Structure 1
Amino acid sequence: SMDAGLTWQEFYLPNSLPQSAGSDSSIAIDPNNKLYYFYVLSSPDGTKGTMHVQVGTRVFDGLGQLTGINWSNDTDLGAAHGVLNSVFPEAIAGDTGRAAVGFLGTDRPGDSQSLSFPGYWYAFMSTTFDGGITWVTTNTSPNDPVQGKGGIWNMGGSALNRNLLDFNEITIDDKGRPGFGYSDGCVGDCVANPDVNSFTAHMRLARQFGGNTLFAAFDTAEPALPKPPCLTGTRDSGGSHLEWKVPDNGGADILYYKIYRGLTPGGETFLADTGSVGVPNARTTYDDTTADPNVEHYYYTVKAVNSLGAGLDSNEIDLVVQPLPPVESLCILPGLTKLTDPEGDSLGGAGTDLKSFHLAQPFAPDGVVKLAFTISTDPGLPSQPLNSHWYVSMRMVSGQTTTYKAVHMIWNGPTPTFESYTPGASSGGVVDGRFVTAGTQVPAEPESNYDDANGKVFIVVKASDLGLVPGSTIAGFVSGVAQGVVVGAALYDQMPDSLSYTGSYTVVSNDTCFPLRSVVSRKTHGSVGAFDVNLPLAGGPGIECRKPGASSSHTLVYTLDRNVTVDGSTSVAVSPSGSGTAAAGPDANQITLNLTDIPNAQDVVVTLNGAVSGSTTLNGLVANMDVLLGDTTADGAVNSADIGQTKSRSGQIVGAGNFRNDVTVDGNINSADIGLTKSKSGTALP
C-alpha cells in the first residue's frame, strides 16, 4: 500500500517456493523505503526450509506512479552455519540500509515438524549495514539449544512440539541495538542432552552488546578497549565464587580477565588473571580459594582484557560468608528440588502462594516403590475452600506417545483428600494438571497429610499408580493451586509461571535408597586402637573371629545415609539367640549396637528397628554376622591354615592387615593368640 492502507497492490516474490505448513514471513522497511522480505524457502522435496531474504526497491514510471517492486540480493542467511530448516523470522529496520532479523534454525534436513526429527534448534540473528548486499549471521545460543530433538510444530492443535508457538518478537533500543525475544524449549537437563527435549516455553532474549547498531549515530571506532563486565558472586567457607557476563569486547576478542580484591569499598588490588596474552583464557568464572573465612567482607571487581589492554572496572560486589545449602538426596525427605516459584504472586488466600516442589523416593521396607511429593506454600488454613486443590502434574514421553499423571490434595469437605489421577485437557487441548478426568482418581498412601501452619502439602503414592516402574522417566513437572477441577477452573498460582513442563526424574529401584550404608563389628585391641570387621550388606556375611567381651558380647556400628538417633521405641532383635541394645553415635549418622549372649560358631542375624531420622522412623535394618572364634582366614572353619597364619605373624605390630590374628584383642600377636586358635581347631560354621 502507498496510501496508508486505503488500497493494496499484490507483488510476487521471485523464486520463493513456500513450505506447505511453514512459518509466516516477516518484513522490515528502512527510512528510504527499502523493503527487506524474510521468508522460509522450501526445497522441492520439502525436506529443507532455509531462511532467505530478498530486498525490494520500488519501481516508478515516468509519472511517478508505482509500477512494481524490483527484488534483488536473494540471500540464504543460514548458509554459513549449515542451517537447513528454519522457523519464526522476526525482522526490524533501523537507519537507511540497516536491518536485522531473528529466527530459529537447525542443521538437519527432514520433516522438521515430526517428533522424531533429530535436529537441535538454535536462535540466529542476521544483520545488514549496506542495504542487504551483505549479511552477517550469528548463532546467539551455540551452547544452549532453543529446542532439542522432537521438531517444531507450525500448525494448530495441542501437539507436544507446539510448545514454542510462534510468539517471537524483535525490537531495538534507543541506541539501535536489536533484541530478539523467543521461547526456549530446551532447559535443565536438555541443555547437556538435547536428545531428551524438555518441550518448555521459557522466555529468553538475545540482545546485541557490541559493534555497530542499527542507528548510525551510535557507531563506534573499533577496535577499542572492552567494556566493563557485569559481576556477581557468592561466598562460603571454601572461598569466594565469582561469575560475570561477557562485556562488549570493543571489536577485539577478549583474551582474559583480571580479578581484584579488597577489604574496603574501592580498595581492591590485583588478585589474579584467568589467563595471559600468550595463554588466553576468557572463562567467566573464578574461585578465590585464598579468601579467609574469618574475614567478614571481601570486595571484588573484574576487568576484561583484549589486544589493546584492560578495560574499566566492573561493578563492585561485597561478599560475606553464607552457609552452604543442604545437600539434597532423593532418599531423604523432602528430596530433590524440582520446581520453585517467587513468593507473593498468588491470587488466592492463605496457603495458595506456591514456593517450591520437592520429589523424594524413600526406601520402602515393604518393597513397594513410592514417590513422595512435597508442595511448599505460605502458611495456610486448617480448612481450605471446597473444591480447591493443590496439585503436581507430570508428563511422560515414550517415543511418539505422551501421557500425563498427577497427584493432588483436594478439599471435598472439611478435611482434605489425597489422590493420584489422570489430568484432562483444557478447551484448547492443553494439559497442565488442573482438570481431573472423572473416574481416574486413586487414593494416595495414608501417610499423606497437610501441615497448614508450615505450608506443607505431603502426598505419597505408589509409583505403579502413576504407571511408573524403576527406569521410567518423568519428562517434566507443573504445579498449581486451582479453584475447581473442571474446564474453566481458575489458577491462584502456578509453577513455573509459564505452565511449561520443567525438569525430569527417573524412578530408581527401591534398593537405591536403602538407608543402611555399612555395618562393622568393632573391637578395641589394647592400646593399639579399634579395628573393624566389615559385615557386607549383600553376599556372604562377614566373619567375626575375635574373642568376645564379657557375657559373650560384640559391638556393631551401623552407618546410615542420614543423621539418625534412638529413642524409647528403638529395639534390637538377635537371631537365633542373644540380645542387644542401641545407642546413638559415635557419629551423627551412626548407631552402636551392643550385643550379648552371642554363641560361637553361629550365623547371627541382627535387626535394628525404630531408628529415628527427623520425622521418619527406620525399621528392618538387618545385618548378618558369622561368629567363629579363631577363623582368621575367614573361610568358615578353624584349622591348620588359621594356626599357621597366626604363627607366621607372631611378633608383628597389629595393624589393618593382620588385626584378625590378634584373636585375644590385647594389641599383640603372640603365643596367646596361637594357643586360642589351636583350642578352637575343628570348629566350623553350620
Structure 2
Amino acid sequence: NATFPATVAGDPNRAAFTFYGSETPGTNWDCGQGTDCGHGANFTGVWYLYVATTFDGGATWTTQNVTPGDPVQRGGICQSGTCRNLLDFYDATVDKEGRILIGYEDGCISAACINGGANDFTAKGVIARQSGGMRMFAAFDPAIPTVPGAPKATGTANQDGTATLNWSAPDNGGSAVTAYNIYRSIKGGPFTLIATVPVTNYTDASFATKDVYHVTAINQAGEGPYCPDVAPVRGVTQTPCVLPGVLAINDLNPDGTDNDGGANTPPDPRVNVRQLFLAEPDFGRDSNGNTIEKLVFTMQLAPSSASSAPASSQWYIVWARQGSDPSDPNDSHFDRMWIGMKSDATGALSFQYGKFGVPLDATNPDPNANTPVTFGNADSGTYDIASGVVTITISNSKPRSIDGGASKYVANTSLGAINVRTYLARPDAGQKSQNNASDITGNGAYTLVGNAFCYVNRLPVASLSASPTQGSAPLTVSFNGSGSTDADGSVVSYTFSFGDGSADVTQSSPTIQHTYNNAGDYFATLTVKDNTGASSSNIASVEIKAIAAPDLIVSALTASNNQARQGDKVTFTATIKNQGQASAAASKTEFLLDGATVLGLIDTPALAPGGSATVTVNWLTASAKKGQHTIKATADKTNVVAESNEANNTKTITVSIQGNKT
C-alpha cells in the first residue's frame, strides 16, 4: 500500500517518487481509530517513508525505506476523525544541487510506538534530506564510491575513569563502511590515532580530563571527514530504555580488532559476533493497565555484502537459568536458557528460544549436554545483513514459563554467564559446544531493570465529532468528544475551541452545544488532558460550515379596527422582515381567517438582509359572525425562499365583530 505520493524531477530522465508505504495489503488502509471508513476493519499495517528514484527515464527504479525501524504511523492513515493527524501535509522538492527533500508529518514518535506499541497520532513536522548518491541534477553527482560522511559522535565520561564514544553510521558514500578511526587530543595537543573499530562505539580506558576526540569512517574509497571535537561529559553512557540498550558482551580487543582465534575464528562475517546489547524499552501497558514486559537482544555481527543469511546456520545467546521447570521431567538436564536465530536450508530465518543442556562431563556424559531444545518462537526478530545487526524481542512470560515462573525475569534479577555462540552451515540438531563453534564470546552479564523503569506516560488522544456539520446560520451544533482515549489512564478534561472567536470552554463532560450566529467556515477543535495532567498528542478538529441564508418573519401584524361591526371593512397590514444573512427572493404572504378562509395570497417583494416590506389585505365583514376571529399572516407561504429557519414565519392577531352595522 502507498499513499500521499509526491514526485519531483530534475534533469531529463531523472525523477523521484516519494510516498508513505506499508507492506501490509488491504483496501482498508485508510481505516483507523476514530474513523468508521465503512469498508473494513481498522488497518493493522505499519507505515514508513519511502523514496523511489530513476535515472534512466523510468526503465529502472530503486526504492528505499527512508525511516527503517522508525515508522511514521501504525494503523490506518485516514482523512477524518482521530487518525487524521495531518499526514497528508506532505511534499517533495529538491535543493539547488538536486538533493531530494521530503517534508512530512511523523505520527509515531514515542519510544513505545517505535518499539511496537500503540500509535501516537502526532503530527510532528520533519524534513528528510538526501545525503548521498546521484542527484536530480547530473552536474552535482558525486563520484561514486566516495569517502563516507562524518559520523556525529557523543561522548560520556564514566565513573570508572573511562570515556565512551557513541555515533550513528554516516552516509556510506556508495560503498559499505568497513571501520571507524578514533583520534584523541590530549590537553590541546595534536590528534593521534588510538583505535580502529568496526562498530559504532568505543571506550577509551586511558581517558583524562580535557581529552577530546574525532571519529572518521572508512570505506573502499578512503577515510571521510570528522565532525567538531567531541568532549566527553559526565552522564549515563547507556540506558536499557533506548535501543540497542546496555552492552553486555564486547568481543573486540581494545584496538577494535576481533577478539577471535584458533578453532573459534569465524570463517564468514555473518557468524562473527562482535557485541551484544540488552534493552527493556517502553512497550506501554496492556488493556488491564499492566506494564508490557519484553526483553530486546541486539547482536552486532560483522557487516556483510552477501545477499542473504547463510543456510543451515545458528546463532545462540546463552545464559544461566534463573529457576526451574517442575512440569518438565528432563528439566535437571538443562542449566542454561537460550534465545537465537536459525536459518534453514534455503536461508530463511526463524527466531526461537528454549533450554540449553548442561556442560559435557566426560566422566558422566549427559545425553542433553550442550544441546539446545526449542520451546517456542520469540515475539519477533530481524537481521540486517549489510549492517550486521540482529534484533530479537521476546516477552518475559516466555522464559518464565519454563524457568521459574512469575518471580523470575523481573527487576534486579540477572542474566548471568551470558555468551553468544554461532555455527556456520551446521545441522540444527546436536550439541552446540564451544569447541565446535564458528565463533564464541566470553561471558557477560545483564541485570534487569524491568520495563516499568523505562515507562513513559502515554499522551491521551483527542477525538471529536459534530452534528450537524453544515447548515444555515445561525447554526447550533452538538459536539461530542467521548471517542477520546487514554491508553494508560483516563481523560479528565475536554477543551473545546469553536473557531469563531468565542472563548474556549474547558469542562469534564465530553459533550457540548454551540451556536454559530454568523455564516462562515469554522474549524472546531478539541484537546484533552489525562489524569496526570498531560495534554493530548493531537488536536482533533471538525470543519463546520454555517451558510448564509435569508430568514423571513412577520415582525408585525395589525388591524385597522379591532372592534369592527358587521359590514365594516377591516384592513390587515403585515410587516415582513428578512432577519437572515442573505437576500430573500420575492415571495407571497398569506392571510388566513379562522384557520380556514384565505383572505389573500399577497405578493411580497425581494428583501435584502435586514430589509422589511408591508403587505395588506381587506376583509369585508358583512357576512361575518359576531364574536372573536383570528387572523394569521404567513410569510413565504409557497416556500419559494430557502430559509435558515422555516418555523418562524407566522404571526396571529384577534379581532372582534360587534353586531350589525346601522
Same fold (TM over 0.5): no
TM-score (norm 1): 0.36
TM-score (norm 2): 0.37
Higher Cα Rg, which structure: 2
Instruction: Say which structure, 1 or 2, has more relative contact order (CA 8 Å, 6+ apart).
Output: 2
